[in-house]
A and B are shown apart, each in its own frame.
Chain A
Amino acid sequence: MSAVTATIAEDKMDARTKPATPNEGARLGFRLTLPAQILVLFISAFPLLMQLYISVTDWSPLSGVGWWNAWEMWNSFANYTDLAADTRFWSALQRTAIVMLVCVPAEFLLGLALATLFADDFPGKRIFYSILLMPMMVVPAVAGYMFFMLFQSGGPVNDILSRIVGTPVTIAWLSDPNLALIAVMIADIWQWTPLMFLILLAGLVGVPEDQMKAATLLGANAWQRFTTIVLPKMKTIIIIALAIRVIENFKIFDTLYIMTGGGPGVATETISVYIYKVTTQDLIWGYVAAIALAILIVLSIVAVYAMKRMAKSRELPA
């Protein structure tokens, strides 16, 4: 039938991407943003190169030479080999991974649950919305102090637990090596779930309503709609949200450091804390540069993946 062949032919043409803007426009755009490009390059590339440079030396601020002469203290990748053998580094990395694997999924699930609640209207929605966003507004250091107080042996958390359980509860949250990490994770979840909530709510609202209606009319119940329509349509936003949180959570520092200082012992020493200690206490900046660079590479892989996903999503309409 000619109608069908015509429509299949049209369909092939539909698959072409949008035409490029005239070359003149692109060149002008490049020229206009050149100052900004140079600035960003300077801010990001220069420190990076500096780091790379120092990481292959034994330099430290106490070595008596300026950093530009660090080549004098060349140690031919000894920093990197040391890093591989540094057990404290690896256990810090492991702890960081544990924190990430607990916090990020928890934040995600809580954020998703809250977002679905907020998708429809209910009385007092605006007020709850503001309350929900407050943890994110708190300065991380202040949050650290807050949870430090909350988790004291005689503090409010134990008090509430005592009332619930009936008997006095005196868990030594922050001084028990097994529990300190949990306390820190709770603090992180409290502070960053709102961010997940916001991002996921935006994604949720972007799910086309008429497709939801169509699904309902075809017999899908709420759960089926959620799994077959809502989640797939939120795929890109979910990946972006997870990527953002994975990268940020990996670098967890402020709140944690104020709560526990990395302790007791090294019980809550994450990678950021470790780097901080090595930098400020041991002052071996060359080594620190090597660590930082290694972490950067790992996180870059996550970021590139997320960016690829975002670029792909721009071709797909809702």
Chain B
Amino acid sequence: MSAIHLQNLVKKFGDFTALKTMDLEIADGEFMALLGPSGCGKSTTMNMIAGMEEPTSGKILFGERDMAGMPMGRRGVGFVFQNYAIFTHMTVRQNLAYGPKMRGAAKAEIDRRVGAIAEMLQLSPLLDRKADRLSVNILQRVAIGRSAIMEPAIFLLDEPLSNVDAAFRAVMRTELKQLQRQFRQTMVYVTHDQLEAMTMADRIAVMDHGVLQQVGTPLEVYNNPVNVFVARFIGAPGMNLLKGKPAESDRGLVVDLGPLGVTPPLPDELASAVRAARGDVLYGFRPEQVALTERGLSMPVSFVERIGARTIVHLGQGESAVKAVFENDIGLSVGQTAVVAPPASSVRVFDAATGLAVKAG
């Protein structure tokens, strides 16, 4: 089994820096998600772990072993590509058997292992089908099986569910988690879908433009985002952020939200830090924590999305747009005015200039 340690990892392609000094520790047996929008460097990081790219500088360690110069065929990692890279000229069985066959395993041994993996991934009835005629859902299972059969200590998955239809994604997420639990491999999973990361990962590494923003458990990054990017990226929808000026009042430190005409109080523990910073702040709160109140932000409803179990209400426009998630019986329609406010404990404050979260003390 293997822990992965990325030290000061940098990757440049000519003038373009895809990854800027990444430091990350992935524990043995951990399910780590690399989460971020397209172009944030997550796939580049993964390719370097696999050995498909060499870092411009920095080190990659599997346990104690430095992987510099180790060719990708010898790193003992399993890799699932975004578009599966299934050998389309072979049958499912031949695909699954490929790894062991290349390593010279005996036929009986290969058959046994193929049978076991096929059973686990429900591919047994399809073993003798040619791989070019199968649906994407099945191809994905074959891709996973082909790597899993090698029982690698480290399993890398590059957005494996992005080509799979939405309903099947939920099924596959459960299966992947079960697979990881069963084999207790170290799993690194690249995705741009925060829901996927939250559902599956033990910890999430949020990245943007080649820089690691925050590493933490799903609840940690949700409850205490270190900056504006993480606050907006995590959560469906992301955190509401309203610009305002801190001001003194008889209620203590408040934030003046300008055109919105309200001055909600800032949490006490952050008061001294906000005063010290002296600049404008971003007043943040999560849409799921908003409630209808008598006093608070008064805004017109601009859009209502009823999505199954919940209703997302869009309030206001442009810079001062706010989203709120309610139960389906909320009964709000476009044009009405709603008064909403977040509970004090859920308010998060960010420095408007740096984007960093304001921390207590």
Which residues of A are in contact with B by a Cβ distance under 8 Å?
A: 1, 3-4, 7-8, 10-11, 14-15, 208, 210-211, 213-221, 224, 228-229, 232-233, 235, 316-318
CB pair A220–B52 under 8 Å, yes or no, is: no
Given A3-B171, A11-B134, A15-B133, answer yes or no on A218-B85 (Cβ-Cβ < 8 Å).
no
Q: For residue B133, which residues in chain A have a CB less than 8 angstroms away from its CB?
A: 11, 14-15
Alpha-carbon gap, A318 to B86, bound state (A): 10
CB pair B102–A208 under 8 Å, yes or no, is: no
Q: For residue A7, which residues in chain B have a CB less than 8 angstroms away from its CB?
A: 135, 137-138, 168
Alpha-carbon gap, A233 to B131, bound state (A): 13
Q: For residue A221, which residues in chain B have a CB less than 8 angstroms away from its CB?
A: 73, 102
CB pair B132–A218 under 8 Å, yes or no, is: no
Alpha-carbon gap, A4 to B140, bound state (A): 13
At the interface, yes or no: B179 with Cβ under 8 Å from chain A?
no
Q: Which range contains the number of B residues in contact with the other chain?
A: 35 or more
CB pair A210–B73 under 8 Å, yes or no, is: no
Alpha-carbon gap, A270 to B168, bound state (A): 64
Given A208-B85, A211-B85, answer yes or no on A217-B102 (Cβ-Cβ < 8 Å).
no
Instruction: Return the chain B residue nearest A13 by Cβ.
Output: B135
Stretch in B27-35, B75-83, B319-327 with 4+ CB within 8 Å of A: B75-83
CB pair A224–B87 under 8 Å, yes or no, is: no
Q: A212 to nearest B CB, angstroms?
A: 9
CB pair A3–B168 under 8 Å, yes or no, is: yes
CB pair B81–A214 under 8 Å, yes or no, is: yes
CB pair A318–B79 under 8 Å, yes or no, is: no
A-B contact pairs, 24 of them (CB 8 A): A1-B122, A3-B168, A4-B122, A7-B135, A7-B168, A10-B135, A11-B138, A14-B135, A15-B133, A210-B83, A211-B87, A214-B79, A215-B98, A217-B72, A217-B73, A217-B78, A217-B79, A218-B147, A219-B74, A219-B102, A219-B103, A220-B73, A220-B102, A233-B89
CB pair A216–B73 under 8 Å, yes or no, is: yes
Q: A10 to nearest B CB, angstroms?
A: 5
CB pair B50–A217 under 8 Å, yes or no, is: yes
Q: Which of A216, A229, A233 contacts B72 (CB 8 A)?
A: A216
B146-187 vs A, Cβ < 8 Å mask (1 yes, 0 no) = 110010000000000000000010010000000000000000
Instruction: Return the chain A residue nearest B98 by Cβ.
Output: A218
At the interface, yes or no: B261 with Cβ under 8 Å from chain A?
no
4 other A-B residue contacts (CB within 8 Å) besides A216-B73, A219-B103: A7-B135, A217-B73, A228-B87, A235-B89
Q: For residue B79, which residues in chain A have a CB less than 8 angstroms away from its CB?
A: 214, 217
CB pair A228–B81 under 8 Å, yes or no, is: no
Q: For residue A10, which residues in chain B have a CB less than 8 angstroms away from its CB?
A: 135, 137
At the interface, yes or no: B117 with Cβ under 8 Å from chain A?
no
Q: For residue B308, which residues in chain A have a CB less than 8 angstroms away from its CB?
A: none
Q: A213 to nearest B CB, angstroms?
A: 6
Q: For residue B259, which residues in chain A have a CB less than 8 angstroms away from its CB?
A: none
Instruction: Return the chain B residue nearest A11 by Cβ.
Output: B135
Alpha-carbon gap, A318 to B73, bound state (A): 23
Alpha-carbon gap, A137 to B349, bound state (A): 74
Q: For residue A8, which residues in chain B have a CB less than 8 angstroms away from its CB?
A: 125-126, 138
Instruction: Return the chain A residue nearest B77 by Cβ.
Output: A217
Q: How many A-B residue pairs have CB under 8 A?
A: 87
At the interface, yes or no: B99 with Cβ under 8 Å from chain A?
yes
Instruction: Return the chain B residue nearest A212 by Cβ.
Output: B85
Interface centre among A210, A317, A318 (most CB of B within 10 A): A210
Given A11-B134, A218-B102, answer yes or no on A317-B88 (Cβ-Cβ < 8 Å).
yes
Q: For residue B122, which residues in chain A have a CB less than 8 angstroms away from its CB?
A: 1, 4
Q: For residue B86, which residues in chain A have a CB less than 8 angstroms away from its CB?
A: 211, 214
Given A8-B125, A210-B85, answer yes or no on A218-B146 (Cβ-Cβ < 8 Å).
yes
Alpha-carbon gap, A229 to B126, bound state (A): 21
Q: For residue A214, which residues in chain B have a CB less than 8 angstroms away from its CB?
A: 79, 81, 85-87, 146
Alpha-carbon gap, A211 to B146, bound state (A): 12
Q: B11 to nearest A CB, angstroms?
A: 17
CB pair B135–A317 under 8 Å, yes or no, is: no
Alpha-carbon gap, A20 to B126, bound state (A): 29
Q: For residue A14, which residues in chain B have a CB less than 8 angstroms away from its CB?
A: 133-135
Alpha-carbon gap, A154 to B248, bound state (A): 107
Alpha-carbon gap, A316 to B132, bound state (A): 7
Instruction: Return the chain B residue nearest A232 by Cβ.
Output: B89
Q: For residue A235, which residues in chain B have a CB less than 8 angstroms away from its CB?
A: 89
Alpha-carbon gap, A53 to B251, bound state (A): 112
Q: For residue A233, which residues in chain B have a CB less than 8 angstroms away from its CB?
A: 89
Instruction: Return the chain B residue nearest A15 by Cβ.
Output: B133
Alpha-carbon gap, A216 to B99, bound state (A): 9
Q: For residue A216, which residues in chain B have a CB less than 8 angstroms away from its CB?
A: 72-73
CB pair B102–A224 under 8 Å, yes or no, is: yes
Q: For residue B146, which residues in chain A have a CB less than 8 angstroms away from its CB?
A: 214, 218
Q: For residue B126, which residues in chain A have a CB less than 8 angstroms away from its CB?
A: 8, 11
Q: For residue B134, which residues in chain A have a CB less than 8 angstroms away from its CB?
A: 11, 14
Q: For residue A213, which residues in chain B have a CB less than 8 angstroms away from its CB?
A: 52, 72, 81, 85
Q: B292 to nearest A CB, angstroms?
A: 40
Alpha-carbon gap, A229 to B89, bound state (A): 8
Q: Which of B118-149 contact A (CB under 8 A)?
A: 122, 125-126, 129, 132-135, 137-138, 146-147
Q: For residue B74, which residues in chain A have a CB less than 8 angstroms away from its CB?
A: 219
Alpha-carbon gap, A291 to B74, bound state (A): 61
Interface centre among B98, B103, B150 (most CB of A within 10 A): B98
